[in-house]
Structure 1
Amino acid sequence: MSLQIPAINGGDAAQALDVSEAVFGQEYNETLVHQLVTKYMAGARAGTKAQKTRSDVSGGCAKPWRQKGTGRARVGSTRSPIWRTGGVTFAAQPRSYDQKLNKKMYKVGIRSIFSELLRQGRLAVCDDLTPAVPKTKEFLKKISGIQVKRLLVVAEDLNENLILAARNIPYVAVVTPTSVDPVSLVSADKVIATAAALKQIEERLA
């Protein structure tokens, strides 16, 4: 069975695209989508925070004063964490925040997102997205009538005219089927894709 993705701005029905119900008609799995978004955002974290332990701090090899007879506390090293110039007790070290999610779960999660976008009317198809000249006003004519705060454009390739025309619009992001991510899909108020891009996505998620 197949579903229809409507044309941009509810255009001519002939411009609508037939897609597989197995990919774009899946039941919404909120738990899996949350896990998918969490994994993506966690993987984007740098994880480069680093602090010095007492073994990393320079100096302090010698005992600062003798054990007894000075009237001061017994100290073995100036690198102790209780000293101002000492190391950190539980020092943070570089780490990876990436979470494991197998390919099957990833596919199901992305299919679930696309299916929900279609059900909510936030997914549309338009083949005439690339302006003839790399001008912002030309691209705005292509998407005229769409009043959203976040617009995601999915094109089969990164055409130079499209990139240059859309890059100055703060609420528009342009991606390809291979670089589309769950966070961009979930946060977009509207997703516009070319027919070729949707077919690529359909093949990848089948």
Structure 2
Amino acid sequence: MPQITIKNPAGADAGTVTLDDATFGIQPNIPVMHQVVVAQLAKARSGTQSTKTRSEVRGGGAKPYRQKGTGNARQGSTNAPHYSGGGIALGPKPRSYAQRTPKKMIKLALRSALSDRAADGKVLVVDSWGFDAPKTRDAAKALAALGVEGRALVVIERDDVNAALSFRNIPEAQVIQVGELNAYDVLANDYIVFTQAALAAATSGPAALDAATPKGDDS
């Protein structure tokens, strides 16, 4: 099991912690990660696009011209799709883009994503943020002291309100509760920053990752 150094918000060493091999030490399964991320993004689509068929557009009740004698093809309504302003043939209608993803795949994708970041040394652990009050400047200084370059996913416990409010205004930081961990957010960020308590909650057992169902996936 790999060991990493725990840091404090000032960047100083505060001990070591052993990462769970079952969560941070597996061989990443790229096809599963791809399938789960695609399903999660599909579920997030609103699916509200809608076009009008020939029965829904306004007007077109009268026959545009008589049936015979004009030299033109017979027409019954200007609502037909080939008329300008007519209905749309086979156009999109409201629908759900949700895909059913097995929970075992969701958990495997999350573990694969975390293992990929851990293999690159991009998983960081702080003892606690310890913010007395919400302050974005202190949060930015803490990330800089930890050596974070690029986007960071800050994983916190549910009751750590000051940390959530401190990091939320930093464009390069995304705050997430440990129960909301999902493969897409892990892969979308360069660094994953846990507190000791959040790391323990994420790796305390199978039930921890059962709760980590991606946002927008009801499977």
Q: Aligning the two structures, in what range does the TM-score lie when normalised by the shorter sequence?
A: 0.7 to 0.9
Deviates most, 27-36 or 141-150: 141-150
Q: How far apart, in 2, do the equivalents of 1:71 and 1:144 lie?
A: 78
Q: Distance between the aligned counterparts of 1:22 and 1:167, measured in 2?
A: 30
What is residue 162 of structure 2 aligned with on the other side? 161
- Summarize deviations over 1:105-161 as a string: whole Å, max 9, x none: 111111111112111110011122241122222223333332411011000125332
**8 A contact 1:128–1:142 mirrored in 2:** no
- Counterpart of 2:29? 29
Separation in structure 2 between the aligned mates of residue 144 and residue 132 of structure 1, nearest angstrom = 19
TM-score norm. by structure 1 comes to: 0.88
Query: For residues 1-40 of structure 1, what are the alpha-carbon distances to aligned partners after superposition, in whole Å with 9 as ceiling and x for unaligned?
Result: x44343248853x632234322222111111111122222
Partner of 1:138: 138
SS at the partner of 2:180?
A: coil
Could you tell me how far apart the structure 2 residues matched to 1:58 and 1:83 are? 13
Amino acid at match of 2:198: A
**Corresponding letter in the other structure for 1:89:** A
The residue aligned with 1:148 is: 149
Shift, 1:99, TM fit: 2.2
Q: Is the 8 A contact 2:6 2:127 kept in 1?
A: no
Give the match for residue 194 of structure 1: 195
Shift of 1:81: 0.7
Aligned equivalent of 1:106? 106
Name the structure 1 match of 2:216: none
The alpha-carbon deviation at position 83 of structure 1 amounts to: 1.0
Distance in 1, Cα, partners of 2:26 & 2:12: 25
> Is the Cα–Cα contact under 8 Å of residues 16 and 125 in structure 1 kept in the other structure?
no
Q: Taking every aligned residue pair, what percent have the same amino acid on both sides?
A: 39
175-184 vs 99-108, which moves further:
175-184
Unaligned runs of 5+ in 2: 211-219
The equivalent residue for 1:176 is: 177
Residue 128 of structure 2 contacts residue 196 of structure 2 at CA under 8 Å; is this kept in 1?
no
Whether the aligned pair in 2 keeps the contact of 1:5 and 1:19 (CA below 8 Å) is yes
Q: CA RMSD in A?
A: 2.2
Q: Which secondary structure state, in structure 1, belongs to the residue aligned with residue 114 of structure 2?
A: helix
1:77-110: CA deviation from partner (whole Å, max 9, x where unpaired): 1110111121011211112222221001111111
- Match of 1:115, SS state, is helix
Asked whether the 8 Å contact 1:158–1:176 carries over to 2, the reply is no
Residue matched to 2:213: none
Q: Deviation at 1:205? A: 2.7
Give distance in 2, aligned partners of 1:130 and 1:56. 59
Gaps in structure 1 of 5+ consecutive residues = none
In structure 1, distance between residues paired with 2:159 and 2:25: 28
Distance 1:113 1:82 in 2: 50
TM-score (norm 2): 0.83
Structure 1 counterpart of 2:73, one-letter code: A
Residue 192 of structure 1 aligns with an amino acid whose one-letter code is V
In structure 2, relative to structure 1, the CA distance for the partners of 1:34 and 1:50 (3 Å cut) is same
Aligned partner of residue 27 in structure 2, secondary structure: coil
SS in 2 for 1:7: strand
